[in-house]
Structure 1
Amino acid sequence: MQCDAGAERQYPRQPVLAVGAAVVRDGKVLLVLRGREPGRGLWSLPGGVVVSGETLRAAVARELREECGIEVAVAETAEVVERMIPDAEGRLQYHYVILDYRARWLRGELTASEEIEDARWVEPDSLNQYRMTRGTADVIRRLLARSRGKVRDLGG
């Protein structure tokens, strides 16, 4: 169920609902290098737009399969993030409400789709080495701190 990345995402009449996932495998977190706007060339959590009639958790699983070639077990919602991105003239070009979930890798080899330029399992201590979309590192840190039951410095 591929989602159309059509013009309705730019200059939307209302916010676009999307999901993302902080996927953990062997203590590492999955980051993807965005291949499309907004945020092209920046590292982020994988995810995408929810399709009408699709549950939020099903959207997370589908996006991970499509973007990265992996199957995941979707856990609880980690964060609700709102992204409003203006164009050069100050008009609202993108407006997303993103529900980021925690997920655990189940199977599959990590591969990048045409929507992303790269995908990597990243040690939490090396997050500061990646140029990420605004707020992504903080979401990851909060998620990992909650999942371990303690706050810990993850570097950066």
Structure 2
Amino acid sequence: MDTDPDRSAVDCVGALVYDEQRRLLLIQRGHAPDEGSWSLPGGRVEPGESDPEAVVREVAEETGITIEVGDLVGTVERHGPNGTLYLIRDYEAERTGGTLKPGDDARDARFVNRDEFDALPKATLLASTLAQWNALPG
């Protein structure tokens, strides 16, 4: 873990949401970092917000669906512009409703199977991280 006191750390969350065929919900990022690449839905934790509240809000904003947040799957660190360090906690989540449509800073949102996942341009280290967590789509 980077402990440089001059480095700005940003608390973030993400969601691993699967459908009945174990396809994984991904969004195509509309902004930096990794603009144009595919990633898990998620984003910054707002002041006073719990991780589960942030996950629910971010998934709704980016995909239009509602979720129930489950267990923490894992934590990753990603370096961003200007020395920013993103501390990302990814949670299991189950879809409970809503209509899937891209919103907020997402260009697109969809459930993908393993072949589709492998073919997409993905955010840095997404595939290897999901593989480590045994969380790749079916």
Q: TM-score normalized by structure 2? A: 0.86
Residues 19-74 of structure 1: CA deviation (Å, up to 9, x unaligned): 00111111110010000111100000000100111110110001111111111111
Structure-2 change in CA distance of 1:24 and 1:53 (3 Å): same
Aligned match of 2:14: 20
Q: Look up the equivalent residue of 1:45 and give its one-letter code.
A: L
Partner of 1:20, secondary structure, is strand
Partner of 1:117, secondary structure, is strand
Answer whether contact 1:141 1:154 (CA < 8 A) is retained: no
Confirm whether residue 120 of structure 1 aligns to residue 118 of structure 2: no
Confirm whether residue 136 of structure 1 aligns to residue 131 of structure 2: no
Partner of 1:25, secondary structure, is coil
Amino-acid identity (%): 36
Confirm whether residue 56 of structure 1 aligns to residue 46 of structure 2: no
Q: Which consecutive unaligned segments of at least 5 residues does structure 2 have?
A: 1-5
Paired residues in the alignment total 132
Q: Shift in Å at residue 114 of structure 1? A: 3.5
CA distance in 2, matches of 1:114, 1:72: 17
Q: Shift in Å at residue 135 of structure 1? A: 1.8
Q: Shift in Å at residue 105 of structure 1? A: 1.1
Q: TM-score normalized by structure 1? A: 0.76
Q: Which consecutive unaligned segments of at least 5 residues does structure 1 have?
A: 1-11, 147-152
RMSD of aligned C-alpha atoms? 2.1
Aligned match of 1:42: 37
Q: Look up the equivalent residue of 2:40 and give its one-letter code.
A: L
Q: Which runs of 4+ in 1 moved over 2 A?
A: 138-143
Q: Shift in Å at residue 142 of structure 1? A: 4.2
